[in-house]
Chains A and B, each alone.
Chain A
Amino acid sequence: MSQIPADLKYAKSHEWTRLLPDGTVEIGITDHAQAALGDLVFVDVPEVGRTLAAGEGCAVVESVKAASDVYAPIAGTVVASNTALGSAPELVNQDCYGQGWMLRLRPESPTALDALLDAGSYGAQLAASGG
């Protein structure tokens, strides 16, 4: 059973978001996503300063099975990206909700996160798809 921390909000496309005290939002991929991808061999994170629309591809993850885009769950400007993943993509497999974070956004709208799924709804989505 994959882990779905209760304090985060989720996108249908398997990204998680965490609201940080300074109002920025940290983003990564969920435990379900990292398990489905398998061992990651490459992660490409966006440049700081890039403006992203909601749903726009913002990072690329490549595993031994597949390459996949990571989509920005909300619109905003990139204020930090986790460059450590360049040499250690396995951090996403080992600690997807912690050291495996991918980017931090300054959200365009302070209420953007409201539209995302809570842990219960995301869990229900996984259960419905047999995952």
Chain B
Amino acid sequence: MNQTLEKSIFEYSRPGRVAAAQLPPPVGGRAAAEGIGTAVPEALRRRKAPLLPEVSELDAVRHFTRLSQLNFSIDTNFYPLGSCTMKYNPKACNQYAMLPEFLARHPRAPESQGQGFLECMFELQEMLKEVTGMSAVSLSPMAGAHGEFAGVAMIRAYHRARGDLARNEIIVPEAAHGTNPATATMCGCIVKEIPVDAEGDVDLAALQRAVGPNTAGIMLTNPSTLGVFERKIGEVARIVHGAGGLLYYDGANLNAILGKVRPGDMGFDVIHMNLHKTFSTPHGGGGPGAGAVGVAARLEPFLPVPLVARGEGGYRWLAEAERPQSIGRLSAFMGNAGVLLRAYIYMRMLGREGMSRVGEFATLNANYLQARLRAAGYELAYPTRRASHEFIVTMKKQARELDVTAMDIAKRLLDHGFHAPTTYFPLLVPECLLIEPTETESKETLDAFVEAMTAILDEAQSNAAKLKGAPYTMPVRRLDDVRAAKQLELTWKPPQAATMAG
């Protein structure tokens, strides 16, 4: 790879260098004749030209092309970033979501002029209901955490509507995603954390002690962030429902069970789905996301609006008038329409059979990689458990004996052409790497990753200092994490502007 870092575009700037063909008509010429620019009162017009880079069109094209080539992306490299489901995004999804009829549709266009789009959204709602086992779905939340917020807001609205005002506690197992307690707090709930046992299952005795008349619900990810399936889910549901609480399913790890097990059948009342993970829309800095929510029948009135309904006259929006108990709107219109279209197309391409193949191969790939890395000498965090779609190795022993950390391994992997797995998450496992290969990688890619990991483990023994200096082939070497966190300098200022300002 061995690239150099690209300069900022301001450093290419030369006074007076312009791309004439791209200029808007000059103010005072045709624009003045047409009245453009005269509507702004004199007092509000700027006196000085803004500090914009002055470059030729070719300079601009080369600069941004080079920047794009520095990207480490799923289209260029294996990206086993645990918990993020960095699967390949099929180009067909992009292609069809970019049809001019979709792109040009105005969100305020009358329903009669957007029947095709509305039909896609209606069918997406229906497919998500079917694949998750929930009664109804709303597509409006625009990210996973946004979906979580919608979910807990619905749980609160449900208890409130029944006059059960004391229920303000949300139980969160310590293996949960960090966003879960944050969401509960944002919704005005009190978080009660419960432990998991040595094999990664929820501690049922602790759960039994935690539930009571104040329990609003529990937030769970299944499979959990520990990369294992929660085997006592039926019992968890029985205890929480018995105490009058509801079950919230964090859909972050839905890929593992897609087409195999449905959250609705496990007893969950509310779920959010990360369409950008499970249903393969671009994410990871490339966003935006989509955090559709699904509910059991008793929570249906509280779903965020708008929803799409099918009637005799075709497809139409359901908004506040039709859904008076809704928790309201979470986005200006109806979520990230372009992302929802991509998810719809992906699901249509997969079909019912394809859904279960996603779950099967996501799990098969993770278990293959887990078995091979274990054989190569990596220590598994949960050695007695089968992996779900991801698994954890711990570098605890190497950290103690060789002073080689999970971060050193992660950085060295970049030199081998692989994106690093998730590091230091979940917090429960010291010096951990959370590895999620996804279903879209071939055996050859997985084998090449194992080869790199084996070479790195050898290097930890033979030349730890080399590991600690990695990466060597990236545009930037080892970053100073502490300085990056404490001294945020995110804007570039031209040197002369600093002196001119004085």
When the two chains form the complex, which single residue of B396, B427, B430, B485 contacts A42, counting CB atoms closer than 8 Å?
B485
Q: Are B481 and A130 in touch, CB under 8 angstroms?
A: no
Task: Tell whether A39 pairs with B430 under 8 Å between CB atoms, given A65-B424, A130-B396.
Answer: no
Chain A residues within 8 Å of B423, by CB = 65
Q: Looking at the assembled complex, report how far the CB atom of B208 sits from the nearest CB atom of chain A, in whole angstroms.
A: 20
CB distance A41 to B427 under 8 Å?
no
Docked CA distance A42–B430 (Å): 21
B425: chain A residues within 8 A (beta carbon): 66
When the two chains form their complex, are residues A39 and B482 in contact, meaning their CB atoms are under 8 A apart? Answer: yes
Residue B162 is within 8 A (CB to CB) of chain A in the complex: no
Chain A residues whose C-beta falls within 8 Å of the C-beta of B430 in the assembled complex = 36, 131
| Closest residue on chain A to residue B178 by CB atoms | A67
Whether A64 and B427, one on each chain, are in contact in the complex, defined by CB atoms closer than 8 angstroms, is no
Is the beta-carbon distance between A64 and B396 smaller than 8 angstroms? no
Query: How many angstroms between the C-alpha atoms of A42 and B486 in the bound complex?
Result: 8
With both chains docked as a complex, state the minimum distance between the C-beta of B440 and any C-beta of chain A, in angstroms: 29
A68 CB–B CB distance under 8 Å: yes
Report the minimal beta-carbon distance from A2 to chain B, rounded to whole angstroms: 11
Question: Would B396 and A41 count as touching, CB distance under 8 A?
Answer: no
Q: Is the CB of A41 within 8 A of B485?
A: yes
B interface residues, tally (CB under 8 Å): 10
What does DSSP make chain A's interface, helix, strand, loop or mixed?
A: loop
Which residues on A sit within 8 Å (CB–CB) of B424?
65-66
Residue of A nearest to B405 (CB): A38
A39→B396 contact, CB < 8 A: no
In the complex, chain B residues whose CB is within 8 Å of the CB of A65: 423-424
Chain A nearest CB from B145 CB (Å) reads: 16
Contacts of A39 in B (CB 8 A): 481-482
A66 near B485: Cβ-Cβ < 8 Å: no
Chain A contact residues (Cβ within 8 angstroms of B): what range? 10 to 19
Chain B residues numbered 27-43 whose CB sits less than 8 Å from any CB in chain A: none
Looking at the assembled complex, report how far the CB atom of B337 sits from the nearest CB atom of chain A, in whole angstroms: 34
Q: How far is the CA of A68 from the CA of B425 in the complex (A)?
A: 13
Instruction: List B contacts of A41 (CB < 8 A).
Output: 481-482, 485-486
A130 to B396, CA, bound (A): 9
CA distance A42 to B482 in the complex (A): 10
B482 and A66 contacting across the interface, CB-CB below 8 Å = no
Contact with A along B407-425 (1 / 0, CB 8 A): 0000000000000000111
Within 8 A of A (CB), among B415-460: 423-425, 427, 430
Bound-complex Cα distance A129 to B396 (A): 11
CA distance A130 to B401 in the complex (A): 12
Residues of A within 8 A of B396 (CB): 130
Kindly report which residue of chain A lies nearest to residue B431, judged by CB atoms.
A36
CB-CB contacts below 8 Å: B464-496 with A: 481-482, 485-486
Q: How many angstroms from the CA of A126 to the CA of B423 in the assembled complex?
A: 23
User: Chain B: which residue is nearest A93 at the CB level?
Assistant: B482
Determine the chain B residues whose CB is within 8 A of the CB of A90 once the complex forms: 482
Whose C-beta in chain A lies nearest to the C-beta of B423? A65
Chain A 32-62 interface mask (CB, 8 Å, partner B; 1/0): 0000100101100000000000000000000
Bound: A90/B485 CA distance, A: 13
B397 to chain A, nearest CB (A): 9
The interface residues of chain B lying within 8 Å CB-to-CB of A131 are 430
* Chain B: CB-nearest residue to A89: B486
- By beta carbon, the residue of chain B nearest A67 is B178
Rounded to whole angstroms, the CA-CA distance of A131 and B425 in the bound complex is 18
Residue among A36, A64, A90, A130 with the highest chain B CB neighbour number at 10 A: A64
Residue of A nearest to B479 (CB): A64
Residue contact B427 to A66, C-beta cutoff 8 Å? yes
Cα(A105)–Cα(B226), bound, Å:
37
Q: Give per-residue flags for A63-104: 1 if the beta carbon is below 8 A from chain B beta carbons, else 0.
A: 011101000000000000000000000100000000000000
**Shortest beta-carbon distance from A130 to chain B in Å:** 6
A80 to B424, CA, bound (A): 33
The one of A64, A68, A130 in contact with B482, judged by C-beta atoms closer than 8 angstroms, is A64
Q: How far is the CA of A39 from the CA of B485 in the complex (A)?
A: 10
In the complex, the answer to whether A68 meets B427 with C-beta atoms within 8 Å is: yes
A27 → B minimal CB distance (Å)? 21
A64–B423 CA distance with the chains assembled, in angstroms:
11
* List of B residues within 8 angstroms of A36 by Cβ: 430
User: Whole-angstrom distance from the CB of A122 to the nearest CB of chain B?
Assistant: 17
B419 to chain A, nearest CB (A): 18
Interface string of A7-50 (1 = CB under 8 A from B): 00000000000000000000000000000100101100000000
Q: In whole angstroms, how far apart are the Cα atoms of A42 and B481 in the complex?
A: 12
> Could you tell me the distance between the alpha carbons of A114 and B66 in the complex, rounded to whole angstroms?
64
Minimal beta-carbon separation of B209 from chain A (angstroms):
15
Distance in Å from the Cβ of B406 to the closest Cβ of chain A? 9
- B427 neighbours in A (Cβ, 8 Å): 66, 68
Distance A36 CA – B399 CA, assembled complex (angstroms): 11
A42 to B485, CA, bound (A): 9
B178 CB to nearest chain A CB (Å): 8
A85 smallest CB distance to B (angstroms): 13
Residues in B with CB closer than 8 Å to A66 are 424-425, 427
In the bound assembly, the distance between CA atoms of A52 and B163 in angstroms comes to 32
Please report which residues of chain A, range 114-131, place their CB below 8 angstroms from some CB of chain B when the two chains form the complex.
Answer: 130-131
Q: Which 3 A-B pairs have the closest CB atoms?
A: A64-B481, A41-B485, A65-B424
Please give 17 more A-B residue pairs, beta carbons under 8 A apart, in addition to A41-B486, A64-B481, A90-B482: A36-B430, A39-B481, A39-B482, A41-B481, A41-B482, A41-B485, A42-B485, A64-B482, A64-B485, A65-B423, A65-B424, A66-B424, A66-B425, A66-B427, A68-B427, A130-B396, A131-B430
Cross-chain pairs A/B with CB under 8 angstroms, 20 sampled: A36-B430, A39-B481, A39-B482, A41-B481, A41-B482, A41-B485, A41-B486, A42-B485, A64-B481, A64-B482, A64-B485, A65-B423, A65-B424, A66-B424, A66-B425, A66-B427, A68-B427, A90-B482, A130-B396, A131-B430
